[in-house]
Amino acid sequence: MWKLARFLKPYWLAATLAPLCMLLEVCMDLLQPKYMASIVNDGIQTGNLAHIQHTGLLMVGTAMIGLIGGMGCTLFSSSASQSFGADLRKALFVKVQSFSFRMLDTFNSGSLVTRLTNDVVQVQNVVLMTLRILVRAPLLSVGSLIMAILISPMLALVLVAVIPILLAVLTFVIRKAFPLFANVQKRLDSVNNVMQENLTGIRVVKAFVRADFENNRFGRSNEALMDIATKATRIVALIMPLMMLIMNAGVAVVLWFGGQHVWNHSIQVGDLVAFINYVTQMLFSLLMVSMVLMNVSRAKASAERMNEVLDTDSETSNDAPATTSVIRHGEIVFDRVSFAYHADNEGGRSGGDISSASDSLVLKNVSFTVQPGTTVAILGATGSGKSSLVHLIPRLYDTTAGRILIDGTDIRRIDRKHLRTRIGMVLQEAILFTGTIRDNISFGKPDATQEEVEAAAKAAQAHDFIMAMPDGYQTLVGQRGVNLSGGQKQRISIARAILVKPPILILDDSTSAVDLGTEARIQQALKEQSASSTRIVIAQRISSVLEADTIIVLEDGAVVAEGNHEELFRSSAVYQDIYKSQLGEEAVVHG
């Protein structure tokens, strides 16, 4: 948890004032039993009413000062802990934004949600308790012990036997509870993951009448969380009765021996009352420490999970020295590129050895060149590596071996922000964000004018259906675009990519949900709007790529054919099979 202390550093003033205010409150609390002893010894036993009134007023005044200290501690500790939590949550979110797709595959979304919410709250609460209770309890314990020794060193020997027992019980419970709390957070990950998957795919669940199955799946995850949380809570619950038993036993022993000292006139009644108060304060303080340490034990598990995210290096970080303003024409060269999703990425940096790849290669020794301003189509069966190939260009993943060059520069030497701002990409799944249609189209260029937005929408054949909506471009898009059809979402995604006018435009099966006529109009508009751009198109329909300058055919992650339609039709059996499967035997004869 100490590694997270840097997030508290900007709020050092509040974090310093909180303990100081608590010190003031503790000092005032330590004076109260002393005043009480004075009232009993010098007021009640002697019948001195004036002394009782005077000391009573001192107790009230002391309590008021302690109240001010306590309120100050609460104010400053709350400010510091909330600010700490906000900064930590922001740092985690920013770190996640820097993750490559490979790292997003490692940390599932349910786990990341838990780490940014529940885990942050756990650590934030511990910071709050540390600045308040974990400051108050030790100070009050030490102060009470000192005051008790000053009253009666002989009676204070009782504490020598009680305190080690308390500490031993506390240590035992914490050691047992910590592993369980780590498992609680993991089970919470599972619950969040199941819930998130269900909410995302709720329409599929209803369409296939699988609500019962999903209920059972959630029930299993929920029960697993309940079981481990119950087990952890039971262990924690043991600490309270055990501590109370030890504490009450200690008070009983003090009363036994203290009564004998009063009988022998070696200690006054008021001093015995004060001594018992100090002992009670000290034991209750240790009880508070035990409860805080239990929360620290749980927060430690959360802190480790957050540090796991913060300490993860982004696999697509810039290779020094990163260069900018190098992408101008859009020439792309794949030089012996191989890729595996979970392979050791160092092979890609060294340029060759992939023998240590842990998974089978998705792409194998791929080499080709895309000339500036041309259209290249990628064809292949499902699972041939088409999407994986285009994901490597903007470094959503890094190569396992080989290199990719844009305009003669290795993409690992190009500043990552510059690289991605010069590439327009329409992913296979059309993702829209909550907001207006205009907000979604201008996502990559927030300062775009209305004319630019409309021009991009017209090129993507989206303008007409947008204007048919009651609010036009100000129509609100529901979460993930639920109020739009698949074809409408794809066209808005295409408009979003066109708007930034990139030198390189990648379309990953982005027209699968539109009809052939609309697709043809989009392709024609792309030629006109992005004539100078290099276009890489993945399409399932071979009719969509017949006019491409170059068609690259992938099979099992390797390039098996390359050329234009006429060349491939004559020379490639694989291309002929794809062509025949979609357009029929007659099309082959007349091809």
Do both 258 and 321 map to the same domain? no
Contact 540, 371 (CB under 8 A): no
Closest CA to 202 of 480, 515, 576: 480
Range with top average pLDDT, 236-240, 296-300, 387-391, 573-577: 387-391
How does DSSP classify residue 323? Answer: B
Residue 313 has pLDDT above 80, yes or no: no
Domain of 55, in residue numbers? 2-310
Do both 163 and 208 map to the same domain? yes
Q: What is the pLDDT of residue 348?
A: 43
Give a yes or no: residue 530 inside a domain: no
Do both 253 and 340 map to the same domain? no
How far apart are the C-alpha atoms of 508 and 102, rounded to whole Å?
A: 19
Q: What is the pLDDT of residue 251?
A: 77
Encode 79-103: b = buried (16+ Cβ within 10 Å), e = exposed.
bbbebbbebbbebbeebbeebbbbb
Omega into 321 within 30° of 0, i.e. cis?
yes
Give a yes or no: residue 500 inside a domain: no
Do both 294 and 397 map to the same domain? no
Do both 54 and 35 map to the same domain? yes
Which residues neighbour 315 within 8 Å (Cβ) at sequence distance 6 or greater? 100, 102, 103, 345, 397, 398
Q: Which CATH number covers residue 267?
A: 1.20.1560.10
Residue 410 has pLDDT above 50, yes or no: yes
Residue 129 has pLDDT above 70, yes or no: yes
- Of residues 310 and 160, more confidence is placed in 310
Give a yes or no: residue 517 inside a domain: no
Give a yes or no: residue 122 inside a domain: yes
pLDDT band of 356, cuts 50, 70, 90: very low
Q: Where are the alpha helices (DSSP H) in 364-470?
A: 386-392, 416-421, 437-441, 450-459, 463-467
Give a yes or no: residue 439 inside a domain: no
Element (H, E) at 213: helix 211-263
Helix (H, G, I), strand (E, B) or coil at 536: strand
Element (H, E) at 373: none
Q: What is the pLDDT of residue 111?
A: 77
Residue 167 has pLDDT above 80, yes or no: no
What whole-number percentage of the chain has pLDDT above 90?
23
Q: Where are the alpha helices (DSSP H) in 39-152?
A: 49-97, 101-106, 109-116, 118-131, 133-151
Q: Which CATH number covers residue 379?
A: 3.40.50.300
Do both 299 and 278 map to the same domain? yes
Do both 74 and 31 map to the same domain? yes
Which residues neighbour 104 within 8 Å (Cβ) at sequence distance 6 or greater? 96
Do both 274 and 410 map to the same domain? no
Computed over every residue of the chain, the mean pLDDT equals 83
Range with top average pLDDT, 272-276, 380-384, 498-502, 576-580: 498-502
Give a yes or no: residue 491 inside a domain: no
Do both 130 and 265 map to the same domain? yes
Contact 562, 571 (CB under 8 A): no
Residue 396 has pLDDT above 50, yes or no: yes
pLDDT band of 175, cuts 50, 70, 90: confident
Contact 313, 102 (CB under 8 A): no
Do both 331 and 304 map to the same domain? no
Number of domains in the chain: 2
User: Which amino acid belongs to residue 561?
Assistant: A
Q: What is the pLDDT of residue 277?
A: 86
Give a yes or no: residue 15 inside a domain: yes
Domain boundary among 291, 310, 329: 310
Rounded average pLDDT over 551-573: 89
Do both 224 and 331 map to the same domain? no
Residue 62 has pLDDT above 60, yes or no: yes
Do both 54 and 183 map to the same domain? yes
Give a yes or no: residue 468 inside a domain: no
Q: What is the pLDDT of residue 351?
A: 43
Question: Roughly how many angstroms between the first and final C-alpha of the chain, as a whole number?
Answer: 68
Closest CA to 1 of 304, 203, 264: 304
